[in-house]
């Protein structure tokens, strides 16, 4: 039996005889920020959580996926065919993965037991540890790949290797001399015309010609024309007009605002009232007592307590005496 295993090992291709390259168990870039934290508690050691999830228990080594080695993958494929479903053993229902894992552990122990014998001495068989988690994940991924290949087979979109018939030309190197260096670039920009969109005003009209027989004086010769009126900026309003004269509406003033300012200026000029924009205070209303005809103030002997209005001229008592009587009546005191 050992001779047959050695013969089969020697018939394997050289790629399958090489040392098994295990997949990495750490993350090159640790997730940071909100909703990007890894599972489990945070730790400063990279790959600790992923390593703990692959352990079988406290006294076992790290488990790997069967796809890490073609030999282990072939053994698992044969065991999946031998155990297609769960089986009841001695009245106990055992799952399919438990049966597959039991047989794989038995094969692995038989190979490791012959370490000092010819099988381990003449071959380089590596049967690493598995568990049900890695076994089921491998089987699930394998079934998904098979289903995807079947669906793509009938659509004609099977990905093929993009290999050119002729070799591609070598890449062209970059030039160290800049093209057009020191030469100006011409730009065809039309002349800007004054208008409302340019923010300026049209030029002022030319001055009227002098009357016949009148020559321009020496003071007017050589003087520049009067400057145009300053342009109004957006959001800037002209200065207010003096009292008695309604303000002229600005270029950005609505009709209602101009009407309100004009009415306020007219009222200020007629009555010399408050300046435009100032609020007038409404005069306070003085309440008069219906019993004595005097204002309802404390100086005239009027007060209010517990929703009761008292008049001293009609009640015959002072305000202090009436308050003490009301406090004793309603049991209010120090």
* 303-316: pLDDT as tens digits: 888 878 888 888 78
Cβ contacts of 122 within 8 Å, gap of 6 or more: 6, 9
- Per-residue pLDDT band for 189 (boundaries 50, 70, 90) equals confident
Partnered with residue 303 across adjacent β-strands are 310
8 A C-beta contact, residue 317 and residue 311:
no
Give pLDDT, residue 293. 81
d(CA 184, CA 205): 40
Looking at residue 164, its pLDDT comes to 76
pLDDT for position 99: 93
CA distance 291 to 316: 13
Q: Is the pLDDT assigned to residue 138 strictly greater than 50?
A: yes
pLDDT of residue 78: 92
Entry pTM: 0.41
Note the pLDDT tens digit of each residue in 52-109: 555 544 555 677 888 888 889 999 999 999 999 998 888 889 999 999 999 999 988 8
What is the residue-averaged pLDDT of the chain?
Answer: 74
pLDDT for 284 equals 73
Mean pLDDT to the nearest integer, 128-145 = 90
Start-to-end C-alpha separation, the chain: 112
Q: Mapped to the 3 state alphabet, what secondary structure does the chain carry?
A: CHHHHHHHHHCCCHHHHCCCCCCCCCCCCCCCCCCCCCCCCCCCCCCHHHHHHCECCCCCCECCCHHHCHHHHHHHHHHHHHCCCCEEECCEEECHHHHHHHHHHHHHHHHHHCCCCHHHHHCCCCCCCCCHHHHHHHHHHHHHHHHHHHHHHCCCCCCCCCCCCCCCCCCCCCCCCCCCCCCCCCCCCCCCCCCHHHCCCCCCCCCCCCCCCCCCCCCCCCCCCCCCCCCCCCCCCCCCCCCCCCCCCCCCCCHHHHHHHHHHHHHHHHHCCCCCCCCCCCCCCCCECCCCCCECCCCCCEEEECCEEEEHHHHCCCHHHHHHHHHHHCCCCC
Pick the residue with more confidence: 241 or 303? 303
Q: What angle do CA 146, 151, 153 make, to 5 degrees?
A: 95
């Amino acid at each position: 039996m050992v001779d047959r295993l050695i013969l089969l090992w020697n018939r394997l291709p050289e790629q399958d005889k090489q040392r098994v390259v295990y997949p990495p168990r750490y993350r090159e870039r640790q997730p940071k920020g909100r909703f990007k934290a890894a599972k489990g508690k945070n730790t400063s050691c990279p790959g600790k959580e992923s390593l703990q999830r692959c352990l079988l228990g406290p006294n076992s080594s790290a488990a790997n996926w069967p796809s890490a080695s073609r030999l282990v993958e072939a053994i698992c494929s044969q065991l999946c065919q031998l155990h297609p479903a769960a089986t009841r053993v001695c009245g106990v229902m055992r799952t399919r993965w438990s049966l597959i894992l039991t047989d794989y552990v038995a094969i692995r122990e038989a190979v490791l037991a012959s370490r000092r014998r010819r099988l381990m001495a003449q071959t380089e068989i590596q049967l690493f540890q598995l568990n049900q988690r890695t076994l089921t994940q491998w089987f699930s991924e394998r079934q998904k790949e098979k289903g995807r290949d079947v669906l793509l087979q009938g659509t004609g979109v099977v990905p093929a290797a993009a290999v050119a018939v002729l070799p591609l030309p070598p890449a062209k190197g970059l030039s160290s001399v800049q093209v057009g260096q020191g030469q100006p670039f011409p730009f065809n920009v039309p002349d800007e015309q004054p208008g409302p969109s340019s923010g300026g005003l049209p030029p002022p009209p030319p001055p009227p010609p002098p009357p016949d027989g009148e020559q321009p004086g020496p003071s007017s010769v050589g003087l520049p024309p009067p400057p145009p009126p300053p342009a109004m900026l957006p959001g800037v309003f002209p200065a207010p007009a003096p009292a008695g004269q309604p303000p002229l509406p600005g270029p950005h003033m609505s009709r209602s605002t101009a009407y309100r300012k004009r009415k306020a200026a007219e009222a200020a000029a007629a009555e010399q009232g408050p300046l435009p924009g100032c609020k007038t205070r409404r005069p306070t209303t003085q309440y008069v007592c219906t019993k004595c005809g005097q204002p309802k103030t404390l100086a005239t002997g009027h007060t209010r307590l517990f929703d009761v209005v008292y008049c001293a001229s009609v009640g015959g008592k002072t305000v202090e005496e009436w308050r003490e009587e009301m406090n004793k009546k309603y049991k209010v005191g120090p």
